[in-house]
Amino acid sequence: MKFGPILLLSLVFLSAFLVACKESVVNGQAIRSSCVDTDPTPAGRQLYEGGNPLILGMVNNFYADQCTKFSNTRVIQYYCDATGTVKRGSMDCPGGTICSNGVCVSSASSSTSCNDSDGGVNTGVTGTVTTNLGTFADTCQGADVVEYSCSQAQQAVSSVLLCGTSASCQGGRCVRSVCGNRVVEPGEQCDDQNQLSKDGCSNSCTKEQGYWCPKQGGSCRLIEPGLFCGEDKKFNVFVLMDDTSYTATDQEIRDYFTFTSQLLYDRTCVVLNITQIFHVSINNPSDIDPITYNLMSQNSQIVRNANGFVIFTEKLSCARLNGGCAWGISPSYQQIGINNYCNTYARYDRINNILYGSVIDWNHLYGACGYDEDQTQRISSVSVNGQCRNQPGTQCVLHNGYYICQNLVNTYYASDARLMTASTIIHEIMHHYGFGADGYIDHNVGSPGCLNEYRHTLDNVLCPANGDLADCFFNMCQYTYENFIRAENICS
């Protein structure tokens, strides 16, 4: 189905994604990274030319550079792209070189020599390796050091080495972290330019409970109880209920949103407020665009007062199969015609003329067992088609009015039949305060990407989710909630 010129921010709830991930051991310590390349792209090269043809490289200790089968002057380079995914490309060897064992070497190999200024692998010194093909200086890859040295064959080789938990790479060498320099370095949780405790950042640069500290360094701030709760902030939404998909009264919808609003308030101190409920008839997916646009056009004041909207329908596959998806619309779109719309709850670093919406399955069943793909017909007494976390043959048991996987009965989402739909509503709202097109990053609670953006203002949030952060924040990174809380009314 074509949605027209809209902003589609998320694909599915709990969506999976493929990213290359290997674990290697350096200096006795395990390194886990989305993608590690031992011959990173030199400055000045384009990403599609990833890697250094003069260095024998390897990605994730698995994908090794190699020569092409049909030419001795081209080399196949494996490299990491900006998302941490392993990519492969080929390039010509520089003039005067040929490909040998995955690296471009001088065609006059007898004249090859190699000199290492720091005497081999020495992460404490910025060294250079010089061969007749050029000079290669030790450099940094994030907090790790790319160390160049000479091989037994007198060729320049490189490896990515971990500086350690309390050191980082600076200028091509490992430098130990210093507590008290106002820079958060490896091994530190904060750095407020002193070595005093009880000010939010301890004398060992660890964050003290009840404080928020800038991730780049600086003074910490006490998180006072009710810090975000005193403003009585509201996120206003209007609702479109597809009466051809479900039977729900206005009171049932409002009761559901009261439950959902409490879940949101517990995490953000923001109230989810319904301004209007519209009952519509969506007979097929192609009806969604015109029905939504026409309704908005005829109710301009309701749209102007709203921050978002929720459409309940099973006609869209992302809702029927996965629970829901986010959908952003600009009311100024010509088929709606509401000019100068301004979202009073826009993300602080985003444009403010987008209405934050979502399409949700009102009756989506968590852990449904033995049902068909649409969750409408029961076809088996045991799990089928990847159900029960891909454990075929799991017994189906009656719970919360439907059949659920026996291995999921005692999980958080099974504790209340309303949780699945309610959490999906919040999940899709938070996507508008995440990375949008890179939405997969928003899902990995506890991952380096999540933690790098997280400002730790929600460490004291208590959730009845058995201590599981993914359940507590409905499988969205905490920073999306922080961005939601920081939303400001910048409309004139």
What pLDDT is stored for residue 347 in this prediction? 79
pLDDT over 90 percentage in the chain: 27
Among 147, 131, 130, residue whose Cα is nearest residue 139 = 147
Say what percent of the chain tops pLDDT 70: 78
Distance CA 95, CA 116 (A): 24
Residue 127 identity (one-letter amino acid)? G
Tens-digit pLDDT profile for residues 77-94? 777 776 667 777 777 777
Looking at residue 15, its pLDDT comes to 24
What pLDDT sits at residue 43?
46
- The predicted-structure confidence for 111-133, as pLDDT tens digits, reads as follows 467 889 998 888 889 999 888 77
Greater model confidence, 490 or 28: 490
Q: How far is CA 123 from CA 7, 27, 131, 153, 209, in A?
A: 47, 12, 20, 22, 35
Examine the pLDDT at 432 and tell me if it is beyond 70: yes
Q: What's the pLDDT tens digit per position in 179-201? A: 998 888 888 889 888 888 888 89
- DSSP 8-state class, residue 342: -
Higher pLDDT, 434 or 236: 236
Structure confidence at residue 137 (pLDDT): 84
pLDDT at 474 over 80: yes
Q: 34 near 20, Cβ under 8 Å?
A: yes
In sequence order, what DSSP letters do the residues of 117-156 get, joined into one string?
TTSSS-TTS--EEEETTEEEE-EEETTEEEEEEE-TTS-E
Range of weakest confidence among 48-52, 349-353, 440-444, 453-457: 48-52
pLDDT the model gives residue 460: 64
Dihedral of alpha carbons 414, 419, 425, 426, sign? negative
DSSP per-residue letters across 363-419 = TPPTTB-SB-TTSSSB--SB--TTHHHH-TTPBEEEETTEEEEGGGTTSGGGG-TTH
Q: What is the pLDDT of residues 225-276, one digit of tens each?
A: 444 554 568 999 999 999 999 999 999 999 999 999 988 887 887 889 999 9
Which of 41-55, 243-257, 317-331, 377-391 shows the lowest per-residue confidence on average (mean pLDDT)? 41-55
Q: How confident is the model over 330-351, as a mean pLDDT?
A: 85
CB of 352 closer than 8 Å to CB of 359 = no
Containing 295, the helix (H) or strand (E) segment is helix 288-298
Q: Which helix (H) or strand (E) holds 319?
A: helix 317-322
The Cβ of residue 141 has, within 10 Å, a number of other Cβ atoms equal to 17
pTM of the model: 0.56
Neighbours of 47 (CB within 10 A): 12
Q: Which tokens belong to 260?
A: 């959902």
Q: What are phi and psi for residue 23, nearest 5 degrees?
A: -125, 130
Helix (H) or strand (E) holding 177: none
Residues of the chain with CATH 3.40.390: 233-485
Q: What is the pLDDT of residues 29-84, one digit of tens each?
A: 333 345 777 766 654 443 334 556 556 566 665 677 778 766 777 877 777 776 66
pLDDT higher at 478 or 61 = 478
Cα(408)–Cα(282) distance, integer angstroms: 33
Q: What is the pLDDT of residue 31?
A: 35
Q: How confident is the model at residue 1 (pLDDT cuts 50, 70, 90)?
A: very low
Using alpha carbons, list the distances in angstroms from residue 81 to 17, 161, 442: 15, 20, 19
In tens, the pLDDT along 2-30 reads: 333 333 333 222 222 222 222 333 333 33
Taking 60 as the threshold, does the pLDDT of residue 398 lie above it?
yes
In this predicted structure, what is the pLDDT of residue 466? 56
Query: Among 79-93, 278-292, 361-375, where is mean pLDDT lowest?
Result: 79-93
* 384 DSSP 8-state letter: -
Question: Average model confidence (pLDDT) for the chain?
Answer: 78
Count Cβ atoms within 10 A of the Cβ of residue 65 and give its class: 0-12 exposed, 13-18 middle, 19 or more buried: buried
pLDDT at position 2 is 33
Most confident by average pLDDT, 176-185, 340-349, 388-397: 388-397
CA distances from 308 to 46, 337, 339 (A): 40, 17, 17
Average pLDDT over residues 349-372: 88
Q: What is the DSSP string of 66-123?
A: EE-SS-TTEEEEEEE-TTS-EEEEEEEPPTTEEEETTEEEESSGGG--EEETTSSS-T
Smallest Cα–Cα separation from 237: which of 471, 432, 491?
A: 432
- Looking up tokens 């405790």, which residue turns up? 197
Q: Output the CATH code of domain 233-485.
A: 3.40.390
pLDDT exceeds 60 at position 470: yes
Look at residue 24 in the predicted model and tell me its pLDDT.
32
Q: H or E stretch including 402?
A: strand 402-405
Q: Compute the residue count for the chain.
A: 492
Specify the pLDDT at position 299. Answer: 95
- Spatial CA neighbour of 362 closest among 221, 249, 215, 263: 249
